[in-house]
Structure 1
Amino acid sequence: MTDTLLFDPRDERYKSPYGAVSAGTVVHFALRPERAQAFSRAVLTARFESRANELVRIFLPWSGRDGERDVFAGSLPTGDYVGLIFYSFRLEGLDGRTRTLGEYQLTVYDGCEQVPAWFGEGTCYQIFPDRFRRSRIPDPGGMVGGRSVHAAWQEEPEYRPDARGEVRNRDFFGGDLKGVLEQLPYLQSLGVETLYFNPIFEAAENHRYGTADYEHVDPMLGCDADFSALCRAAHARGMRVILDGVFNHTGFVSRYFNGDGFYPQPGAAQSRQSPYYPWFHFQHWPDRFDSWWGIYTLPAVNEGEDSYRDYIIRGEHSIVRRWLQAGADGWRLDVADELPDDFIRELHQAVRAADPNAVVIGEVWEDGSTKIAYGVRRRHILGGHCDGLMNYPFRNGLISFLLGADAACFRDAMETLRENYPPFAFASAMNFLGTHDTPRILTLLGVGSDCRENTKAWRADFRMDAGQRALALARLRLGALVLFAFPGAPTIYYGDEAGMEGFEDPFNRRTFPWGAEDKALTAWYAALGQARKSLLPLRRGDLRWLRAEGRVLAFSRTWEGETVIAAVNAGDAPEQLPLDGAFRDRMSGERFTDTVPLPPLTGRLLTGERCKSASGVV
């Protein structure tokens, strides 16, 4: 007798409603042991974690029979509680026998606020600003950081330590906002509806995660007016803009810390009377201070300091508000786990006050419902904090499947998220195959690992051979199809659609290969992006698994009676998938009835013969 026959939290016959629930919901439970087991009593024990692990025990009375099984059923009220509930069951027999099941997780969230749906519905495109497109070769003279600029766009980024033994990230290529503006037609051709920018504010390093001045666009990118102009142009094309908010730390080289004295106003490193001194924590002023992961170039801030919160969040023209007023439509919070929950909540309130339709997306690398950071269970997706999270579990699960893992492992990982996440968080997840923090997806799919056993110089020079690249491209087409068909925002890391290669930073941050793109791959992404933009089932539909076994993964999305099916065969043997009706493969144009063949390394995006799009029948 298996536990799933006794109780299955993903089956509404055993637990209703499915998954996470909003506060105030009464959750119904049922156990179904075999009658021959002669259990006479069932008890539910619920542990309310955020209420000092308070235990609540509820008797589940016998409520009848279901075939050869007894049914014990009862209900758990959640009241005004918000947090995680961990529950288990105990079955008791008249002869003293007992059986325990659990423990299971129930996420209870604050459902009072309406989360804007636009982010999760459309395609997002991540831009690393220095490397996407430049409209001119800039002059770095007078800019913060002692920069150098590569003369040729195609040169390799610098990865070797300098004379002081440091990798300083001061080599720039000069990508700018006007360059992005010039390429809005290209991005629109991909079906992109959201532009997510890595940091754009003045900073000494090319990645700009050590903010030097939150109040101004980095001059190499352009000026503040250029940003607003870009936002207006994007909005005119139906696109929105999300900015990277780096609020856990500033730059050592910044007007706030001013570690190198570049800025004329004294920073925390120059004077204890500086208005910025309370923002930082010194063990020994001025040379020993808290920093992000011990990296001295990124001094950590005290997010609880009132003057810092006033500056970033609270003021009428606070940083969070002023850039929304300048045209942004939301924020992605860097290292959200390292920001206090009350800081994120206050920031979220400020964002919604400035623009009720703006969103907050958090950087979290694990299941965001269970995340513990600094000994505290985080409230990222319990309502009023983050509207969605970066979905690294999606990336990890999909890459594992593409590289050989059973499709059931991907399905189970995603079902765990769907069960644990509030519906708004699952729908607004930022799904992706790669980011600026991971090796290029094409390289991973061709080589199979990050090759850290080799030297960094080897990784810098490495390029896939023809066989590796052909396999990688075939796998990437499958991965992209799943990405664009799955609930949550399909997010493209700039250049993945062009066939860029590379291992870790900075090899995953090379310049976009304008004029040398893999045009077949770009066309595949564009077709998927346009499908995501036009097919309502892909934007809003439910999720139903059709097959997740071995090397075949298939699921459907249905909205208002119309269905789209994503089916991929990542193996080297042909497969078939039965169909209920007639469908057309949007990618190849082929039509199928009753069954669809899946040759090796083939993906299909199947629409019903009369499936409606946002603009009519497709």
Structure 2
Amino acid sequence: MIMHPHHDGSSLYVEPPNPRLRDTVKVRLRVLAGFGTVTGVWLRSVRDGEPHYDAAVRLEGAAGWEWWEAGLTMVNPVQKYRWFLEVAAEDNAARRTYRWVNARGISARDVPDAADFRIGIAGPAPDWVPRSVMYQIFPDRFARSAQAEGRELPDWAIPCEWDTTPVIGRGPETPFQFYGGDLRGVEEKLDHIVALGASVVYLTPMFPARSNHRYDASTFSHVDELLGGDAAFISLIEAAHARGLQVIGDLTTNHSGDAHEWFRNAYGHPEAPESEYYYFSEDNTKYVAWLGVKSLPKFNWNSQALRRRFILDDDSMAVRWLKPPFNLDGWRIDVGNMTGRMGADDLNQEIAALLRERLRQVKPEAMLLAESTSDAAPDFQNGFWQGAMTYTNFTRPLWQWLARDPEPGRRPVDFYGLPQQGPNRIEAEDFLATHLDFAAGFTWAVRRANLNAINTHDTGRAAYAMVPGGQPVGVVLQFALPGIPLVFMGDEFGLEGWNGEDSRTPMPWDDPSRVLADLRPLYAELARLRRTHPALMEGGIRWLHAEGDVLAFVREHPAGSVLAVASRAPFNGLELPLDLVGGTPQPLALVGGSITAERRGGGDSAGADSAGADSAGADSAVVVLEGTGPSAALFSLPGVSFPVAGRGSAARPEPGTAPLNPDLAGP
């Protein structure tokens, strides 16, 4: 049971959420009555590198909770802060102890600033971005139209039959297997995507290349003719927009292909203008390649000419596709974490800022996400990237919590490049610890725009990595946690794969025997619930329980909250105080076996009070959770609102006038 004082970046606790420099933001802390006697609360912020303390004012309590409020001045572009609580000792009311509350949780010892809450002034993603449900398409394997039949294939392509040629997960032929999916095929299946409840189509690269993945672009100036060319791209986006779908592309700012026109002009020609676009040897015959892959020469962003041609010019690669007649709605940046980084060069944030500002000028409503596969938060501090495609705060711990035991004859799943094959199995408390460790460093605005993926085109499939029945549990969590749910094509059919390449299976449109689990109704229902329950799109998150086989948390919003419970094995008799839960749960959705949430004790429910929680007998009432597993369930709860009237009589202190003790007062 988690009874910590709570704060997050949602509108319940931060007002306004998108401040400007020197604005003062109202921030609030909520303390459960059963936590202990809190005698004082201070807001600790870091101003120009130095700690600063502001006394918080106690508001009236509501529904078993006590609220505190303080003012946070935006002295710096990214303002770090955490809470300092003075608490009466349990064994001696006259003695005081203290607690820190940060984005990682609560601590009775001093902690570094790394997990402080953060608010930035860069501005959030456009409103539509965090409200999205994203559907990812690997074009060669999604759908093949009749127009694909007459296309002449290049020498590198190995023709494959859609339903019968096995995908090669690893080997020299892997990048050259060609199944012939095209953009007309995508357009013909848009209604399938709409029916799943997705609102954004994310296409992996569409530019000409010498591989099926197309991350080795030979030009950024036109769409691959094998996909149907520019005309097919324009037609697809028009058809998507007509259905209310946005479309984003995949842009490689870290490298091009070795067949790219810029690279070919410069290779062996030091005098060529494009020579400075890459990291060449003196005679331009040797070069730096991404991770040593010779077909992927790395860009040198010290080049001002490259910056103009790729980002700044009116017809630059990043800009032209956002304008008519193409009208792309944004980009996912491939290898965003390595862009601009090479040895002593670290231009990453400079290039991110340049790209964000240019997109703002050209198309303010454009989406801009960046891939960062490891500890992503440091690169997202300044808010230049709107959100992250990352795995550390959700995907990896999810796989570990739901890990399938090794089986004789079954190939271990590739676990994100680790030398050990297959994930370690962890407990729910380790899932939460990992999630918080890697999520704490994001601002709330970025966290809402991060992708929640159970798998992608670069990973094995969740259905292969997890216990039987684990994938639907993971799907519920990806829709219930803050962030954008990402559905990789084929997830809705339960497709499997032991690594990223093996997961790029052609869609089983005409072969029902390849459908391993029909999860289309699940995705459609979760997308519907996300649209109709504001808590799932913009509400805060408060964890209730994370032990062993069970996870439970609440997404909180004034218009109504949602309780999420997930289990990997049967459990019973898990009792949580009614005030902690926030009201009497009412069923919304269930996958797997069964999960019940029953109110017991404290008299019959008498509805909701003004603060949103059931009031009758709440002091003694509990919510009892029981269920089988793997299972997951969502329940509706009353909304939460902070007290806006009846504040204590004490005037709000001026910033810095009420330090807890002289040690905190400063010089």
What TM-score comes out, normalization by structure 2 length? 0.70
CA drift of 1:348 comes to 0.8
**Is 1:80–2:109 an aligned residue pair?**
no
CA drift of 1:88 comes to 11
Cα separation, partners in 2 of 1:229 and 1:605, compared to 1, 3 Å: same
CA distance in 1, matches of 2:189, 2:632: 29
Match of 1:399 in 2: 399
**Kindly, what percent of the aligned residue pairs are identical?**
27
**Is 1:119–2:132 an aligned residue pair?**
no
CA drift of 1:360 comes to 0.7
**Is 1:438–2:448 an aligned residue pair?**
no
CA drift of 1:156 comes to 1.6
Cα separation, partners in 2 of 1:27 and 1:152, compared to 1, 3 Å: closer
| 1:528-561 per-position Cα deviation (integer Å, ceiling 9, x unaligned) | 2232233332222222223322211122223333
Within the candidate set 474, 479, 493, 1:498 is matched to 493
Cα separation, partners in 2 of 1:409 and 1:590, compared to 1, 3 Å: closer
User: How is 1:48-127 mapped onto 2 (pairs within 5 angstroms)?
Assistant: 56=50, 79-80=75-76, 82=78, 101-105=110-114, 106=116, 108-127=118-137
Residue type of the partner of 1:603? Answer: A
CA distance in 1, matches of 2:143, 2:368: 26
Within the candidate set 361, 368, 390, 2:369 is matched to 361
Within the candidate set 251, 256, 268, 1:250 is matched to 256
Cα separation, partners in 2 of 1:46 and 1:111, compared to 1, 3 Å: closer
CA drift of 1:240 comes to 0.7
Match of 2:95 in 1: none
Does the CA contact (< 8 Å) of 2:595 and 2:626 recur in 1?
no
Residue type of the partner of 1:544? Answer: R
Unpaired segments of 5 or more residues in structure 1?
A: 31-42, 65-72, 90-98, 259-266, 371-377, 447-470, 612-618
Match of 2:181 in 1: 175
Q: How many residues align?
A: 526
Where 2:261 maps in the other structure, the secondary structure is coil
Residue type of the partner of 1:252? Answer: D
Unpaired segments of 5 or more residues in structure 2?
A: 30-41, 59-68, 86-107, 340-347, 404-424, 600-623, 641-667
Where 1:79 maps in the other structure, the secondary structure is coil
**Is 1:525–2:523 an aligned residue pair?**
yes
- Compare relative contact order (CA 8 Å, sep 6+) and give the higher one, 1 or 2: 2
Cα separation, partners in 2 of 1:422 and 1:169, compared to 1, 3 Å: same
What TM-score comes out, normalization by structure 1 length? 0.75
| 1:464-497 per-position Cα deviation (integer Å, ceiling 9, x unaligned) | xxxxxxx2xx111111111111111010111122
Residue type of the partner of 1:288? Answer: K
CA drift of 1:419 comes to 3.9
Match of 2:320 in 1: 322
**Is 1:276–2:274 an aligned residue pair?**
yes
Does the CA contact (< 8 Å) of 2:473 and 2:566 recur in 1?
yes
Cα separation, partners in 2 of 1:209 and 1:426, compared to 1, 3 Å: same
**Is 1:238–2:247 an aligned residue pair?**
no
**Is 1:146–2:156 an aligned residue pair?**
yes
CA drift of 1:245 comes to 0.9
CA distance in 2, matches of 1:152, 1:142: 16
Match of 1:555 in 2: 553
Residue type of the partner of 1:406? Answer: E
Does the CA contact (< 8 Å) of 2:201 and 2:245 recur in 1?
yes
Does the CA contact (< 8 Å) of 2:78 and 2:121 recur in 1?
no
Deviates more, 1:394-403 or 1:586-595: 586-595
User: How is 1:405-554 mapped onto 2 (pairs within 5 angstroms)?
Assistant: 405-417=426-438, 419-446=440-467, 471=468, 474-514=469-509, 515-516=511-512, 517-518=515-516, 520-554=518-552
Match of 1:449 in 2: none
User: How is 1:164-243 mapped onto 2 (pairs within 5 angstroms)?
Assistant: 166-167=172-173, 169-243=175-249
CA distance in 2, matches of 1:185, 1:441: 25
| 1:3-58 per-position Cα deviation (integer Å, ceiling 9, x unaligned) | x99x989699xxx979x99654589999xxxxxxxxxxxx999888xx7xx5x366
CA distance in 1, matches of 2:153, 2:119: 50
Residue type of the partner of 1:101? Answer: D
Where 1:543 maps in the other structure, the secondary structure is strand
Residue type of the partner of 1:586? Answer: A
Cα separation, partners in 2 of 1:11 and 1:170, compared to 1, 3 Å: closer
CA drift of 1:332 comes to 0.7
Cα separation, partners in 2 of 1:252 and 1:104, compared to 1, 3 Å: same
Residue type of the partner of 1:581? Answer: T
